[in-house]
Structure 1
């Protein structure tokens, strides 16, 4: 039974261009409102680091959902946009774990292995650790940028074996080989390429002893692009024959078809780093578990909204999606129904009308909507239904619907302010031109008199 359908278009609330500047002030992040506990898992010389942000101390019997966040390139739990994501998700009652890439977050590397765009072993260890420590808590995951590529690749590698109940991928590069060609096309892309390369060089300097021994340190210092850095560093450390080989093996596109849990993918068509040409449209369309949402504007991890750009739309959409998933009893019986359907020998009907599906509201929110229709799918037993109701709670879906309705009602009031804002912004240059014209006209008689 398909859990959701795929849409190829999703409107962003406003045009946001390529700006992607974050700080704790304009993202409304109050870090003091959440607690942070760091855990380190050591195995075969590996040191993994994660920040657990929650509203209270959790126990082994806690059933509060946990969201695991996989950061982007050279980002960690100190990045402003991740603080904003963690704060808003924790404020919704979730526990949030930011799985820092090895060598970041202030933790030293104790082995000869560094992370790369296709390295999924670290997130696999973190998820396994959380499953063992908190066996009753549902696990979800959120990946951003390169972290989204890593997350989708992990989901494809694990298939139905993953303990995750659902995931969200934000601004994934999808196909690294296409992305490498794209980022070298224009001057604008080259500026981004150079900026990211400087960040990678800074990461390498933090671990100079290891990179000096394992890679071409002189080549790293002289790198002018991401491809140069991957040629002199990533290929040496990761044992890849060529840079193109590394990009092909690390791209998540080839793993999309094997994703077996609900996955929301958000991408902006004007993303200056991750081109729309790399989006696997057909593969996502063919997988019943994937929702592919694209916006005309939004930039890379931007999607700012509000007059002061104090919030990120993708954070709000992510929390709405995961909230709907955690409340859906269908999510918990999906694999049971699939196994019974396969045992009976009946072919599954590829129809989105078998529900539940996602409804995209006008304000950009997503909510689970039931489609009342009789199907031939075997219903779970009374004991299973009772257990699922105890897990999800009877009021959960009503709360999601009420929340979406209330936010939709507030949209009309917000639209008035937005129209006023647009009027001021567009009218200000005209007022300036008029004042300038009047001043020049006033100065002309004075000049003639002086002559």
Structure 2
């Protein structure tokens, strides 16, 4: 039925009929083009492409933004000489998306061929850490070190690398980093997390985002074995969070000359909120949770005993895994407690080592919202470099995406730092760590029957206090024993001994009281610590009472014999 103009104005049905007739006359190829255009537009925005933005700037890239303290000597004498950090970063054009860069990093990373030499380090709690070495001679073709060993007097810098979450030395980005740093003439060692790198967990301790004890042990071990070799350290992703937290915890008392933190999450609580916000972030959350589940399955016997295994298997996110696994093993009250306790942002102000931090503003995993801008600006030892694009640990550059920009920037920074006078020198000081609930403490120490107790720097301070107390009491006990011997051999001259013994006893109890007051002021002593004091003081108390009442016993015996 044809619709006249009068019918069209009176009946809307005729208008719709004409519209459908017009649509039916459009070629299907035009529909296909429209759908393709709509899909590409959606994909361009969903994956956050910036190809057109780069094209409008003639593919010059975006400048690197540097945040630092105006009075920072690290910036004035080191970073200011780094040409790469004062240049621009342009992502590979056909990878101009943070999501494509991050995704292809693990599948298309195109890493160089790297052959590590493995060393197994046994931690003090019985855990095993895999140290994978790459010597500069292996990369540069220098045959002088055919036995792949480093002498104790070697002065070649050693670069320590801390991997990211569930990553080990075989990750493509770590191979890029290890190869790049070794080409600079440095020896490289990747300190794998516990249970990764094909190594079994040999204790009830597992690593987490704030676990700093392993890297602390490894650093001090390497410093003892190679005291003349400068130590440098690089942390990536969660490894960067661990690094910054460690630097803040130990302050000046670190044998590290310089450090670099790449794509740190900074604040885990903010990161947790961010990664569950949008659909694309939820995909990363799910992928990382699958990786954590795979890690747990490799160590199922320990997790079955220490954590909620059924919950681990049902975990759909990182937060779920931390709720059913990390909080159980680490004895954290809640997931938020764990995130607050292990976030490195609260330790930035205490960093005393020259530290370069590199982050991307479009990082799809570690959000820019968590970057502690003001804290980094206030610390004269920190320089924060941020790029507009780059993804998470990717920063591909060049037409073939053969290299990672942050690897070049890191190597240049460490080279300039090594040739400067700003390498950190260890200063042994007593660190003062704020007291917190023991359930919030890490690292974790196996106590008995599979139970895991939290142990932090607070307990280490107590141990040092008791060692000092024990040494003091041992000296006093030896002196008192000597007095006992003298008194027994010279009974005729005992009249001068009691004042000496009373003075010595007074000194002993005064020392004990001072030490106990210091410990009580710092924290509430636990039952076993008080028991230790009782056991230690019992023999000493007996000696003191012996001399206090000796004259009374002697006089009583004389009166009894005379009577």
Query: TM-score, structure 2 length as denominator?
Result: 0.57
Give the structure with higher Rg (CA).
2
| Contact map agreement 1:305 1:313 (CA 8 A) in 2 | yes
Q: Is residue 29 from structure 1 mapped to residue 112 from structure 2 by the alignment?
A: yes
Q: Is the alpha carbon distance of 1:72 and 1:334 closer, same or farther for their aligned partners in structure 2, counting shifts above 3 Å?
A: closer
Q: Is residue 318 from structure 1 mapped to residue 410 from structure 2 by the alignment?
A: yes
* Corresponding position of 1:65: 157
Q: Is the alpha carbon distance of 1:270 and 1:10 closer, same or farther for their aligned partners in structure 2, counting shifts above 3 Å?
A: farther
C-alpha deviation, 1:334, in angstroms: 10
Flag the structure with higher helix content. Answer: 2
Distance 1:279 1:39 in 2: 35
Q: Is residue 157 from structure 1 mapped to residue 238 from structure 2 by the alignment?
A: no
Q: How is 1:42-441 mapped onto 2 (pairs within 5 angstroms)?
A: 42-54=123-135, 55=137, 56=145, 57-331=149-423
Q: Is residue 38 from structure 1 mapped to residue 119 from structure 2 by the alignment?
A: yes
Distance 2:386 2:307 in 1: 38
Q: Is the alpha carbon distance of 1:26 and 1:153 closer, same or farther for their aligned partners in structure 2, counting shifts above 3 Å?
A: closer
**Which among 7, 12, 17 is matched to residue 89 of structure 2?**
12
Distance 1:17 1:253 in 2: 24
Q: Is the alpha carbon distance of 1:213 and 1:10 closer, same or farther for their aligned partners in structure 2, counting shifts above 3 Å?
A: farther
| Contact map agreement 2:123 2:217 (CA 8 A) in 1 | no
Distance 2:409 2:193 in 1: 25
* Corresponding position of 1:443: none
Q: Is the alpha carbon distance of 1:2 and 1:225 closer, same or farther for their aligned partners in structure 2, counting shifts above 3 Å?
A: same
Secondary structure in 1 matching 2:89: coil
Q: Is the alpha carbon distance of 1:333 and 1:46 closer, same or farther for their aligned partners in structure 2, counting shifts above 3 Å?
A: closer
Distance 1:288 1:130 in 2: 27
Q: Is the alpha carbon distance of 1:65 and 1:197 closer, same or farther for their aligned partners in structure 2, counting shifts above 3 Å?
A: same
Distance 1:332 1:230 in 2: 35
Query: Over residues 401-424 of structure 1, what are the superposed CA-to-partner deviations in whole Å (9 max), with x where a residue is unaligned?
Result: xxxxxxxxxxxxxxxxxxxxxxxx
Secondary structure in 2 matching 1:321: helix
Q: Is the alpha carbon distance of 1:11 and 1:247 closer, same or farther for their aligned partners in structure 2, counting shifts above 3 Å?
A: farther
Which residues of structure 2 form unaligned runs of 5+?
Answer: 1-70, 138-144, 428-563
Which residues of structure 1 form unaligned runs of 5+?
Answer: 336-451
**What is the aligned length?**
334
Query: Over residues 254-287 of structure 1, what are the superposed CA-to-partner deviations in whole Å (9 max), with x where a residue is unaligned?
Result: 0000000100000000000111010000000000
Q: Is the alpha carbon distance of 1:24 and 1:130 closer, same or farther for their aligned partners in structure 2, counting shifts above 3 Å?
A: farther
Secondary structure in 2 matching 1:294: strand
C-alpha deviation, 1:44, in angstroms: 2.7
| Contact map agreement 1:10 1:295 (CA 8 A) in 2 | no
| Contact map agreement 1:46 1:110 (CA 8 A) in 2 | yes
| Contact map agreement 2:359 2:385 (CA 8 A) in 1 | yes
C-alpha deviation, 1:91, in angstroms: 1.4
C-alpha deviation, 1:88, in angstroms: 1.3
| Contact map agreement 1:116 1:234 (CA 8 A) in 2 | yes
Query: Over residues 282-339 of structure 1, what are the superposed CA-to-partner deviations in whole Å (9 max), with x where a residue is unaligned?
Result: 000000000100111000001001111111000110111111111112436798xxxx
Secondary structure in 2 matching 1:185: coil
Query: Over residues 126-161 of structure 1, what are the superposed CA-to-partner deviations in whole Å (9 max), with x where a residue is unaligned?
Result: 001100110000001000000000000000001000
Distance 2:111 2:269 in 1: 36
Q: Is the alpha carbon distance of 1:244 and 1:28 closer, same or farther for their aligned partners in structure 2, counting shifts above 3 Å?
A: closer
| Contact map agreement 2:254 2:426 (CA 8 A) in 1 | no
Secondary structure in 2 matching 1:98: strand
C-alpha deviation, 1:93, in angstroms: 0.6
| Contact map agreement 1:10 1:293 (CA 8 A) in 2 | no
* Corresponding position of 1:427: none
Q: CA RMSD in A?
A: 2.2
Q: Is the alpha carbon distance of 1:333 and 1:39 closer, same or farther for their aligned partners in structure 2, counting shifts above 3 Å?
A: closer
